[in-house]
Structure 1
Amino acid sequence: MDKVSIIIPTRNRSSYLERALEHAFAQDYPDFEVIVSNNASTDDTAHVLESLKTKYPNLISVHHPELLPLSTHWDKVIRDVSTGNIILLIPDDDVIIDKCYLSKAVRLFEKYPSIGLVFANFCSINPQFQRITNYEAKFDEFIPKEFLFNNYNKELFGITGIGVPHLTALFSRKAYLDVGGFDLDCMSPDTYLWLKILLKYDAGFVNEIVAEYLMHENNLSKKANIDQFYSDTLIPQKIQDLAQSIGSIDRNQLKTIKRMYEIFYRRYINITCPKGSWKRAYLKFLLKFK
């Protein structure tokens, strides 16, 4: 039975930590670890984590004295701290509500050795923890990599712009290392990782709502650094380079990726740019694709 590492990166969000840990430690899976990685928080995160260790003595906390870029932070914790063969990297403001989810996901990894990641349905909630929307895709428990890659971001959950949801995605350490892990500081390092994994590995799917996405004013997507958008223009070429090394992609797939990112970033640039300036930022983004 594979050990699972639940990794919760955090920065200046101490108020979310108790809820995050309560749900993480509620899993019924017999072999998992919980790691909270504090990325140079300037609030009372370190103190809160020490206090929570009295309730959760098995909690592993890591404190980084200097602020790390997002991808560097995630990669460092996965490689240097976690010990599980399967990883769940979940945002500090989101939670798994299905206590059996790890067990269900690991069963798929064991049943289908070609699987590199597993994901599931989820819902969004408001700051009062009231459910807003259910996001439910319809897949079999085994999804061939070619199908998911070619249809990525095409209304998988009933809305354009949602692919494999970060908060439900478990991935194998083997797949992570095999495709180079998080190797680009960009706006969507998670999407980039899923696409890389899907070049070489199939996916598993749990057809249940297993997690809650908390919508609030401090969501990371609403505080994006516009400069990070332009790093994402490197992704199609990086994926092409990886794909050519394993012979698993064609020109049509590259066009699909470019279109996907154009739609995705039009939406996010609109959210994050000051009113009236998003079109200029979006055009600059598109020019880097040409």
Structure 2
Amino acid sequence: MSVIIPTLNAGAMIDGLLSALKRQTITPAEIIVVDSSSDDDTQAIVRAKHPDVRLLVIDRKDFNHGGTRDYVFRKSSGEFVCFLTQDALPKNNEFLERIVKPFSDEHVALVYGRQLPRADARPAERIVRRYTYRPQSRTFTQADVKRLGINAFRASDVCAAYRRSAYLEVGGFENPVLTNEDMFIAARFLRTGWTIVYEADAQVIHSHNFTFKQQFNRNYIQGVEITKHSDILGNAKLTGEGFSMLTYTMKELLKEGEIMEAARFFVDCIFRYTGNRKGVLDAKRAARKSAGQ
């Protein structure tokens, strides 16, 4: 098994993550860190404390979520390749063992794990993680797409493992793609007959307390990319799922007496929605312009 970790200024967390991977019940055949020319001591820490880890360095301007991962995937050697983000810490020593277990079914192309909130997560972020990453594992096939829509494709490269043969069969991640590379390849897997597994027992600690501006920017990019890939996603809408998440989270916050947090989360969702809509409109406008040339 290969483990790949893209990094940028990860000095505060990379030693802890690499040390956690070395304590796993399954020892990775290789760990590859691909660093986007960090300004901090990320590279120095990897070289000094983890000389057995393969370190690749790219220019920061050359990074994109699909192309960079594809580049490193093709340099790796494992039949199963696990991607982790620099801020995703395995909850226990069984993470790798549990994320590869579903591959015993030869039809499984992709397995992604459960994300649990950090101790400092805002109440709304904690509930959103609970909504998105349930305690029950699930298996998805092409037959689920019509019923579940975009939820059938909701994989995450925060912690996800791929079968090499399946990955190469569908062509790998696109290059460039700014976000949701995991969702787009998941859709291709399902449409070509492969199976995806959400493995709730493979757990990492990972969450963010984003500002309103950060939420707008993230959802803008998602709106652009999902619109550009609407064909492979079957024109599934992201906003409908967002409304369901909003309703669930607001109810839970009010149930917990988090009145001010509920008000903040409502504003947060406005920024998410407006960012998404602007991204969708800009992508459609760019497509029309390109078609008219």
Shift of 1:10: 0.5
**So what's the TM-score if we normalise by structure 2?**
0.71
Q: Which residue of 2 aligns with 1:83?
A: 77
Q: Does 1:281 align with 2:278?
A: yes
Equivalent AA in structure 2 for residue 51 of structure 1: A
Q: Deviations over 1:161-219 (max 9, x none)?
A: x922333321111111111111141322121122222222112343426111132459x
Structure 1 residue 260 corresponds to structure 2 residue 238: yes
Report if the CA contact (8 A) 2:227-2:284 is conserved. no
**Structure 1 residues 31 and 19: CA distance shift in structure 2, 3 A:** closer
Name whichever of 20-29 and 60-69 sits farther off.
Answer: 60-69
Matched, 1:28 2:25: yes
1:194 is the counterpart of 2:192: no
Question: How many correspondences in the alignment?
Answer: 256
| 1:211 partnered with 2:204 | yes
Q: Secondary structure at the match of 2:106?
A: coil
CA contact (8 A) 2:109 2:166 kept: yes
Name structure 1 gaps, 5 residues minimum. Answer: 157-161, 240-252
1:46 to 30, 43, 47: 43
Counterpart of 1:9 in 2: which secondary structure? strand
Deviation track 1:47-85 (CA, whole Å, cap 9, x = no partner) reads 2222222xxx421111114532312211111112x1111
Q: Distance in 2 between matches of 1:138 and 1:275?
A: 27
- Whether 1:164 and 2:142 are equivalent positions in the alignment is no
| C-alpha distance in 2 between matches for 1:98 and 1:152 | 32
Sort the Cα spacing of 1:149 and 1:108 in 2 relative to 1 into closer, same or farther, 3 A. Answer: farther
Paired letter, 2:234: L
Could you list the runs of 5+ residues in structure 2 that have no partner in the other structure? 247-266, 289-293
* Percentage of matched positions with identical amino acids: 17
* Counterparts of 1:287 and 1:151, CA distance in 2: 25
Show the counterpart of 2:69: 74
Q: State the alpha-carbon separation in 2 of the partners of residues 212 and 67 from structure 1.
A: 28
Question: Normalised by the size of structure 1, how large is the TM-score?
Answer: 0.72
Cα distance change, pair 36–150 in 1 and its aligned pair in 2 (3 A): farther
Deviations 1:113-172 (A, max 9, x none): 1110112333111448999454315345x5434326752544x8xxxxx92233332111
| 2:9 aligned partner, one-letter code | N
The answer to whether the 8 A contact 2:116-2:204 is kept is yes
Q: Distance in 2 between matches of 1:115 and 1:275?
A: 33
